[in-house]
Amino acid sequence: MARTKEFNEDKALDKAMEIFWHKGYNGTSAQDLVTHLGLSRSSLYDTFGDKQKLFAQSLKKYQKQSQDQVVHLFETSENIKETLHDIFKQAVIESLEDRITKGCFMVNSSIELAMHDQEIAKIVQNNGQTMEDVFTKAVQKGQDLGQISKKLEARVLARFIFNNYSGIRVLARSGEKDKQVYDDIVKTMLSVL
């Protein structure tokens, strides 16, 4: 008779995401995972497969959470430009308060693994396309409401916005703590809208 699992897979995946986000794929050992998740090696691998599969599942979970949050903000927004400002302001706050300079899990994974791991590259590319679509829809909504300039197409602006957002996350990972640097980026990005 098979034994029942005595742990919450979703919570274990959250813990895996946390350690991978902090240490990266290559910096996280199997022992780190066992210790951080509080699971035996056999439970860890029986449930999630190997380290690469656990990493990919963690990254997909992060992607869904991040995308769902942004989509919700835009769908409920009455002023897209203000919502964009709020999203960027929150990214700046997180960057400045991040003592361990973890940045963005998706951006970090792109830099560390996308060139060498096809599955991770596919997740990163899917995330980029999905976020571009989300921002395009939001910009179009802002243009339709007269809150965002129509000088540039919505998709062009969406690419510009997403690139700036990702850039802020890269700066955070590098340890940048000068608020003025971030404020200048956000101010310039908003001025284009």
Q: The domain containing residue 143 runs over which residues?
A: 59-192
Q: Specify if 41 maps to a domain.
A: no
We report the CATH number of the domain holding residue 182 as: 1.10.357.10
Q: Specify if 120 maps to a domain.
A: yes
Q: Specify if 48 maps to a domain.
A: no
Q: Specify if 163 maps to a domain.
A: yes
Q: Specify if 11 maps to a domain.
A: no
Dihedral angle computed from the Cα positions of residues 118, 124, 125 and 128, in that order, rounded to the nearest 10 degrees: 180
DSSP assignment of 24-91 equals: HHHH--HHHHHHHHT--HHHHHHHH-SHHHHHHHHHHHHHHHHHHHHHHHHHT-S-HHHHHHHHHHHH
Percentage of residues of the chain with pLDDT beyond 90: 77
> 122-163: per-residue pLDDT in tens?
999 999 999 999 999 999 999 999 999 999 999 999 999 999
Q: Specify if 20 maps to a domain.
A: no
CA distances, 30 to each of 10, 59, 102, 111, 150 (Å)? 19, 17, 20, 21, 51
Q: Specify if 51 maps to a domain.
A: no
- In the predicted model, what is the mean pLDDT of the chain? 92
Q: Specify if 47 maps to a domain.
A: no
Domain count, the chain: 1
